[in-house]
Amino acid sequence: MGTPVTRVNPVAPEDPRLGLPPEVFATAFPFHLALDPDLRFVQVGRSVRKVAPEAVSGVTFASVFRIVRPEGDATIHFLRQNQSQLFLLEHIASGLTLRGEFISLDSQRLMVFLGSPWLRSALEIGQRGLGFDDFAVHDPIVDLLQLGQAQIMALEDSRRLAERLIQQRADMRRANDQLQRQNHTLRTTELQLRTSEAESRKLALVAARTDNAVIVSDAQGRIEWVNEGFTRTTGYTLMEVAGRTPGSILQGPRTDPRTVAVMREKILQGVAFRAEVQNYTKGGRVYWASMEVQPIHDASGRLVNFMAIESDVTELRQNEQRRQLQHSVSRALAEATSLSEGIARALKSVTTSLEWTLGVFWRPDGSEHQLRCEEIWYEPREDFSEFSRQTRTRILAKGEDLPGRCWALGSAVWTKEIALDLPSPRSEEAARHGLSGVIAHPCLLNGEVVGILEFYSARAEKPEAHVLEGLDSISAQLGMFVVREAAKLSARRAGALQQAMFHSAAHALTAVDPQGIYLTFNPAAERLLGYSAQEMVGHESPLRIHDPDEIAARAAELELELGQPVTPGMEALLARARLGQEDERDWTLVRKDGSRVAVRLSMAVLRDENGQLAGFLGSAVDLTERRNAEAAMREGREAAEAANRAKSEFLATMSHEIRTPMNGVIGMNDLLLHTQLNDRQRELAESIGNSAVSLLEVINDVLDFSRVEAGKLKISSETFVLRPLLDSVVEVASMRTPEKRLALAVIVAPDLPQRFCGDPLRLRQILLNLVGNAVKFTDRGSVVVRVNSAPSEATEGRIRIEVTDTGPGLSPQESRAIFEPFMQVDSSAARRYTGSGLGLAISQRLVELMGGQIGVVSRPGVGSTFWFELPLIAIPDSDPPGIHQPLWAAQFEVATADATLAESLETQFRSWHLPVSVMPSREALDRIGNAPKRPANTPCVLLIDEELISAEENPPVPPGFNHRILLVNPLSPWVRRPAIPPGYQQILLKPVKQSQLFDCLTSALEGQSGTARFKRAALQSSGSPAAGDGHVAKLRILLVEDHRTNRRLCELMLESLGLRAEVATTGKEAVDAVQKSRFDVILMDCHMPEMDGYEVTKRIRAREATGCTPGEPPVYIIAVTANALLGERERCLDAGMDDYLAKPFTTKQLASALRRRPDAVSGNLPAPKSASTSQTPAFTPAQPRQIADELGWDDFEGLARDFLTELPIELGRLPVHLAAGARQELKRGAHSLMGISLTLGLTGLAEILLQLEKAAETSDPDRLAHYISELSRPAEQGEMELREWLRTGRATELSPG
Amino acid sequence: MYGLVNKAIEQMVCRHHGEAAWEEIKSRAGVEVEVFLSNENYPDDMTYRLVGAASEVLKAPAEDILKAFGEHWVTYTAQEGYGGLMKGAGKTLPEFFANLPNFHTRVAMIFPNLQPPKFRCTDVTDRSMRLHYISHRAGLSAFVVGLIQGLGKMFETPVTVTQVDFRERGAECDVFLLEWEPRSPA
């Protein structure tokens, strides 16, 4: 509800009561003017009178005021006309402006002006002689003035504010500057302070913590402060030493008094000095102190303190002493000319260096039971002759006297009172000379005591540790010296023996020094060569007796062998021996009389006792007689081989000559069978055909055999996957006699690698023969192919393949003869089974050619196992075996009574690391229904052998399994029926191939239709033309491609897969070809002039739809296009094609597209590769390298060079198409060039071609011309790089390795 | 409070006691305004604090200070901005007072956020009148006395001001009796 509206009576617009009395009018309008029609003043307002006193009645308006606005003359007419206008009147005398309006009072014949002055500031009021009273109260001019004034004040405030701000900013800046300066000063000061503090702290810390001992004393040398280092070194604390002099605490008997005197003098002088002196620690240990003493002066230069820094250099001193000792002994031994001299000099060195008095060297005698004095040494100034005599005559047993004890212990023994500890005449004699301390030290070599050192001293002090260490090393040196000298002696004796042998040897024995000059030349060598030892030794080298050509040839050979330069001289004879390698070979030597003699010469290196090269020993045997015998044998063998080869070549030629007309016979007979024949004629013709095929097989065998025999068969080496090869062999064999219902199986050891390097074709031939034979001769039971690593160590790296059958078996005689050519088992079998009888002989030859062995183990009535072992190189699997996720999670059970099938499946599952269990009987299968339920979320797959259930119409459906697969024989009714049994997902054909098993399991678990899988299995096993695993069967292929190079490339790839294709170069040719012939596959280029691939496909599909091809499945069309554009694949599929292959592609990709053929709808097609990348290099070698590898270098290079020749012409066509407005041709041209460019690695060119192709239909000509102009640079650059790559690639390919 | 009032305090202190005294006063009063804007409305409390602080710093009773401010306001501060208007408002003290209500009405009109006091003149004679000062603010009567005395100086008419009614004592408003010697016409 709204506010209530109060109704009021409207006020009349002009109420006559409002007529103003004159005095009210005058107050309300103090600035009014009233004019008569002549525009003379009739009345003037009181305030006007103040500013314009001349405006009085009768005076004309125009003489007092000027009309400023609106513009016009001051006439009554003008004023009347502008009644509603705002007038500005200027008072002529004062310049004051009045603002207001003219109102015509017609009844009074008056023109009235109502207004007020226009003032610009309040000050003007006073200046005009006016006051507020002169204005009507309602006149807003005063308000305006006040407002204006407020604004002026506000402005003034703003100005002040701004000034204040400026000033404050200036103040702040000054303050800031000042602060920064202060800050800088502060920082500098602080830094200096810190540095000096740190320096002080560091120094204090150094003094306190240094390992050196630091002593601060007063000017008189009394200790004021010592650091921790001092306490550590001496054992004295500050408390203990403060106030005392260092000398009074630290010095002792061994301190050198001369050094002490010098030090004292320096302290008195107050100067710095360095000194080394022996001091004593608190515990009495003597140590060498190296000290640096500095006087410290105060500011006035007065000596106030000394600071001494001492370090313990005992170890340095001792090391030095030990080194000197070792050095002097080494020198003594090195310079000695005899054992006794060496020992005497060593004894002297040790005794004098260590300030001992006398030294003895004892040595165990040969019997190792007694110790005898070998040498004795003492200062000659004292007479130790009695002691010496007693020592030399003394023979000590182990443990006797000090040396005997040392010998027994094998370590040093010491006593300080020998006369008391071990009284004997000898020790008493020593004591008489004042000698009491004795040390005995063993000389050890390899742990054996070879001598004892014994030293006597007047000091009864235990030798210090460093002295003992020094003795250790000296005695070791001395031990070696003694043994070496003894060995030299025996060597001299042995030399005489060798000499005798050397002279009486029947072989020519010679030795040369490292430079090749003869050292010896034995009498046998003299006899062989006619030179005397005198002529040769010291003068000649073996080059004198060698043929220089042979030497040069050997040098070249060695360079290759050793990979290092070998000069054609002595090095050719010695290089291998020098490397420690065996070197025995035949040479022709030249006798002194110029005649030649063949010898077998072996060279060996000679080394001295230090292992250093001393020369070479040559031993030569005369080969003349042996050579003669060999030559006779060789001649005989060559004659026999030539005859055999001639026979084989004859056979090969004959077989070939027979085969050609045989092919004719078979072909013609085939044509004959396609004509109208009556039953009898057909029977005869079929008989001709069968006989001809059998004959051809025999001829093929003969041909193979003769090739092998003639040495014409070469074994190739390539990588192949073993399992598919085995599967295909068994599959082929199984199809020969399906009615026998043999259990065929392949069992490959799970740990065997998948890929090998070898000759797969020949391996397949051997296997086909062995498995074929097994199937042929076995009527019931099984044929199993087993593959393992060869069992024994001797055959390591080989694989062993066994083909075991349950056939009639062989007698031992038959087993022995079975590999002979043309061998047939027996006459009755020969009648039953056709064949050349060459199969096993060929297999044997092939196995031997491959470096393997073949054999048979057989028992009549039980069966045979044919086995062979081959040295195949295993290729490590690049990827771990990939098993789909669904398989990992699943459980598998196999129900079969066929042990062979069970084993083959079990092995297969094991190789995939999948768990499987086997139910061996129907009863076991029936029990499944009663078994406890399996976890619901675990997929369980059951594979049931048809043989368990064959009697029933529909196989049973055991519960508890998510998936059931029926294993069937090729003759099973389920193979012929269109449907699979109810409750089953898949049917799997026996013998079970690995790939099929995998596919079958995967699709069962992924829930795919079993029919498609079944179809595939059936098609493949019936030998229908499908590209199988590992090999590609014969396919009828039509290749539709307009570009020459592309076409040739594709043909080469197909050839490498063992396939040939019919070729169509236009769409029309393709359509014609399909009408004339039946094809399995069409490889369809999409972009062709006139009729493109999409159109061709549509026509082919239309023809198929009209029923022109009854009974034939639709042809499988694979789109081949370089169009990597999005949606291209869909476009191809929409047009009716089955698959899509993006250029560039590899042979492998082509093969896999062909292999995908039966499953075109699986959608598992390669994703089109994006061709558009920025910064693309002109040439990218990855693609061409792969294709060159696949095709072989020759073919690839030819292809590439042809293309490069044609490239400029092809590029030249593009601007012509553009100029002619032929956009489609331009697009096609760009497209086909792009495809081959990518294939050849010209990626830079391909990228611009792709842009050109994309833009060809829609863009403006300028843009297209731009693209075309952009092509030349990447084309040239790419061509250059491709040619260079071809050149270097060829070189790489030809280089070894 | 009108910024012009605070500005007057600032000017007066600075002129007679120096800027340091002013900064000290501002600091004591907790006032951080750097420049007072004449027509801006500042919290009344700020003015009171300034007066209180000035009283402490200058060691003078607040009343005296307010008086001095009032006088200074008329003689210096208002002259800067309103000199022309003040002169236009009358040639004599009585004329000026007669116009004073209109003047403040206009201020209220122009700056609606300001709350200027209202003045009413009664018992007007040629030598005396009663000035009724009606304001929502308390404690500024001494300021008004100073203003009146300033005006007396401006119009060269020494005037005696006696507050006759006190709002703080329960009167409706503060009333001042103004008495002056009539001026001989110039």
Tokens 């005296």, located at residue: B64
Given this model, what pLDDT does residue A657 score? Answer: 67
A258/A1205: higher pLDDT: A258
Residue A784: pLDDT band by 50, 70, 90 thresholds? very high
Res. A886: pLDDT tops 70: no
Percent of residues, chain A, with pLDDT higher than 70: 87
Res. A1011: pLDDT tops 50: no
Given this model, what pLDDT does residue A1017 score? Answer: 33
What b/e sequence results for A472-492 when a residue is b if at least 16 CB atoms lie within 10 Å of its CB, and e otherwise? bebbebbbbbbbebeeeeeee
Chain A 150-189, CB below 8 Å of chain B: which residues?
150, 152-154, 156-157, 160-161, 164, 168
Mean pLDDT of A662-691: 76
Q: Under an 8 A CB cutoff, do B38 and A150 touch?
A: yes
Query: How many whole angstroms separate alpha carbon A533 and alpha carbon A531?
Result: 7
Spatial contact of A1271 and A1248, defined as CB atoms under 8 Å apart? yes
Enumerate the residues of chain A whose CB falls inside 8 A of the CB of residue B110: 143, 146-147, 150
Enumerate the residues of chain A whose CB falls inside 8 A of the CB of residue B80: 153, 156
| Residue A719, SS3 per DSSP | strand
Spatial contact of A809 and A859, defined as CB atoms under 8 Å apart? yes
Spatial contact of B51 and B9, defined as CB atoms under 8 Å apart? yes
Predicted confidence (pLDDT) per residue in B91-148, tens digit: 888 888 888 878 778 777 777 777 778 888 889 888 899 999 888 888 888 888 998 9
In order of A896, A900, A915, A999, the CA distances from A964 in angstroms are 13, 21, 16, 14
Interface test with B, best of A142, A159, A164, A167 (most B CBs within 10 A): A142
Which of A122, A137, A145 lies nearest to residue B102, judging by beta carbons?
Answer: A137
Residue of A nearest to B33 (CA): A161
Q: Which amino acid is at A172?
A: M
Measure in Å the smallest separation between the Cα of B76 and chain A Cα atoms: 14
A354-368, A534-548, A788-802, A916-930: range with highest mean pLDDT: A534-548
A465-504 and A314-335 helices, crossing angle to 10° = 20
Pairing of strands A718-721, A755-758: antiparallel
Mean pLDDT of A294-322: 86
At A479, list the tokens: 């031990």
Which of B88, B91, B110 lies nearest to residue A150, judging by beta carbons?
Answer: B110
Q: Is the pTM of this model over 0.90?
A: no
Enumerate the residues of chain B whose CB falls inside 8 A of the CB of residue A172: none
Residue A560: pLDDT band by 50, 70, 90 thresholds? confident
Which of A145, A152, A157 lies nearest to residue B35, judging by beta carbons?
Answer: A157
Cβ-based interface (< 8 Å): residues of B facing A: 3-4, 34-39, 80-85, 87-91, 95, 99, 102-103, 106-107, 109-111
Residue A593: pLDDT band by 50, 70, 90 thresholds? very high
Given this model, what pLDDT does residue A920 score? Answer: 82
Predicted confidence (pLDDT) per residue in A412-431, tens digit: 888 888 877 778 888 888 88
Percent of residues, chain A, with pLDDT higher than 90: 13
Where is A787: in which H helix or E strand? strand A782-789
Given this model, what pLDDT does residue A932 score? Answer: 55
- Which long-range contacts (C-beta less than 8 Å, at least 24 apart) are formed by B87-90? B87/A122, B87/A123, B87/A125, B87/A126, B88/A122, B88/A125, B88/A126, B88/A130, B88/A131, B88/A132, B88/A142, B88/A145, B89/A131, B89/A132, B90/A131, B90/A132, B90/A133, B90/B155
Given this model, what pLDDT does residue A442 score? Answer: 92
Q: Give the dihedral of Cα atoms A735, A741, A746, A747; nearest 10 deg.
A: 180
Query: How many whole angstroms separate alpha carbon A710 and alpha carbon A95?
Result: 142
Residue of B nearest to A147 (CA): B110
Tokens 């050292």, located at residue: A519
Range name among A68-82, A246-260, A462-476, A845-859 with the lowest pLDDT average: A462-476
- Residue A837 zone, left/alpha/beta (φ > 0; ψ -120 to 50; rest): left
Given this model, what pLDDT does residue A1238 score? Answer: 84
Q: Under an 8 A CB cutoff, do B81 and A137 touch?
A: no
ipTM over 0.85: no
Q: B131 - beta bridge partners? A: B121, B176
Query: How many whole angstroms separate alpha carbon B84 and alpha carbon B106?
Result: 15
| Residue A866, SS3 per DSSP | strand
Q: Which amino acid is at A935?
A: P
Query: Nearest-5° angle of CA A855, CA A856, CA A862?
Result: 170
Q: Under an 8 A CB cutoff, do A157 and B87 touch?
A: no
Given this model, what pLDDT does residue B21 score? Answer: 92
Q: Which DSSP letter does residue B77 get?
A: I
A1223-1239 and A1182-1191 helices, crossing angle to 10° = 70
At B141, list the tokens: 């009567």
| Residue A374, SS3 per DSSP | strand
Enumerate the residues of chain A whose CB falls inside 8 A of the CB of residue B36: 157
Res. B82: pLDDT tops 70: yes
A1243-1255 and A1261-1294 helices, crossing angle to 10° = 150
Given this model, what pLDDT does residue A881 score? Answer: 47
Given this model, what pLDDT does residue A931 score? Answer: 58
Mean pLDDT of A6-34: 76
Residue A792: pLDDT band by 50, 70, 90 thresholds? low
Q: Under an 8 A CB cutoff, do B81 and A153 touch?
A: yes
Average pLDDT of chain A, as a whole number: 81
Res. A289: pLDDT tops 80: yes
Given this model, what pLDDT does residue A1295 score? Answer: 39
Res. A1193: pLDDT tops 80: no
Query: How many whole angstroms separate alpha carbon B91 and alpha carbon A131?
Result: 8
For A1207, other C-beta atoms within 10 Å of its C-beta total 22
Residue A950: pLDDT band by 50, 70, 90 thresholds? low
Residue A1000: pLDDT band by 50, 70, 90 thresholds? confident
Which of B3, B36, B84 lies nearest to residue A121, judging by beta carbons?
Answer: B84
Range name among A52-56, A253-257, A648-652, A818-822 with the lowest pLDDT average: A648-652
Given this model, what pLDDT does residue A209 score? Answer: 72
Residue A565: pLDDT band by 50, 70, 90 thresholds? confident
Spatial contact of A867 and A802, defined as CB atoms under 8 Å apart? yes
B57/A887: higher pLDDT: B57
Res. A1164: pLDDT tops 50: no
A784/B154: higher pLDDT: A784
Q: Which DSSP letter does residue A199 get?
A: H
Interface test with A, best of B106, B114, B154, B155 (most A CBs within 10 A): B106
Q: Under an 8 A CB cutoff, do B80 and A130 touch?
A: no
Given this model, what pLDDT does residue A54 score? Answer: 92
Tokens 């301390």, located at residue: A437
Q: Under an 8 A CB cutoff, do B80 and A156 touch?
A: yes
Query: How many whole angstroms separate alpha carbon A1092 and alpha carbon A930?
Result: 64
Which of B35, B82, B90 lies nearest to residue A161, judging by beta carbons?
Answer: B35
Q: Under an 8 A CB cutoff, do B4 and A153 touch?
A: yes
Range name among A72-76, A157-161, A1167-1171 with the lowest pLDDT average: A1167-1171
Q: Under an 8 A CB cutoff, do A131 and B90 touch?
A: yes
Helices (H) and strands (E) in chain B, counts: 7, 4
Residue A793: pLDDT band by 50, 70, 90 thresholds? low
Res. A445: pLDDT tops 60: yes
Which of B36, B80, B84 lies nearest to residue A125, judging by beta carbons?
Answer: B84
Interface test with A, best of B2, B11, B23, B35 (most A CBs within 10 A): B35
Query: How many whole angstroms separate alpha carbon A810 and alpha carbon A1272?
Result: 75
Residue A830: pLDDT band by 50, 70, 90 thresholds? very low
Enumerate the residues of chain B whose CB falls inside 8 A of the CB of residue A47: none
Measure in Å the smallest separation between the Cα of A173 and chain B Cα atoms: 18
Given this model, what pLDDT does residue B93 score? Answer: 83
Predicted confidence (pLDDT) per residue in A1182-1191, tens digit: 778 878 877 7
Q: Which residues contact A635 (CB under 8 A, 6 or more apart)?
A: none
Mean pLDDT of A487-506: 78
Enumerate the residues of chain A whose CB falls inside 8 A of the CB of residue B97: none
Given this model, what pLDDT does residue A869 score? Answer: 92
A380/A1159: higher pLDDT: A380
Predicted confidence (pLDDT) per residue in B172-182, tens digit: 889 999 998 87
Pairing of strands A303-312, A213-218: antiparallel
Spell out the SS3 assignment of A57-125.
CCCEHHHHEEEEECCCCCCHHHHHHCCCCCEEEEECCCCCEEEEEEEEEHHHCEEEEEEEEECCCHHHH
Which of B36, B90, B106 lies nearest to residue A146, judging by beta carbons?
Answer: B106
Given this model, what pLDDT does residue A1290 score? Answer: 59
Mean pLDDT of A915-940: 71
Beta strands in A337-382 (DSSP E): 358-364, 370-378
Given this model, what pLDDT does residue A85 score? Answer: 87
Residue of B nearest to A157 (CA): B37
Given this model, what pLDDT does residue A1040 score? Answer: 92
Query: Which among A798, A706, A783 is positioned nearest to A752, based on CA atoms?
Result: A798
Query: Nearest-5° angle of CA A1001, CA A1006, CA A1010?
Result: 65
Query: How many whole angstroms separate alpha carbon B176 and alpha carbon B124?
Result: 12
Residue A1168: pLDDT band by 50, 70, 90 thresholds? very low
Measure in Å the smallest separation between the Cα of B148 and chain A Cα atoms: 20
Residue A866: pLDDT band by 50, 70, 90 thresholds? very high
Interface test with B, best of A128, A130, A146, A164 (most B CBs within 10 A): A146
Q: Under an 8 A CB cutoff, do A157 and B3 touch?
A: yes
Q: A583 - beta bridge partners? A: A603
Measure in Å the smallest separation between the Cα of B82 and chain A Cα atoms: 7
Spatial contact of B143 and B69, defined as CB atoms under 8 Å apart? yes
Tokens 């001649």, located at residue: A635
Residue of A nearest to B37 (CA): A157
Q: Under an 8 A CB cutoff, do A131 and B111 touch?
A: no
Residue A13: pLDDT band by 50, 70, 90 thresholds? low
Given this model, what pLDDT does residue A223 score? Answer: 92
Given this model, what pLDDT does residue A32 score? Answer: 92
Q: Under an 8 A CB cutoff, do A132 and B82 touch?
A: no
Given this model, what pLDDT does residue A1027 score? Answer: 33
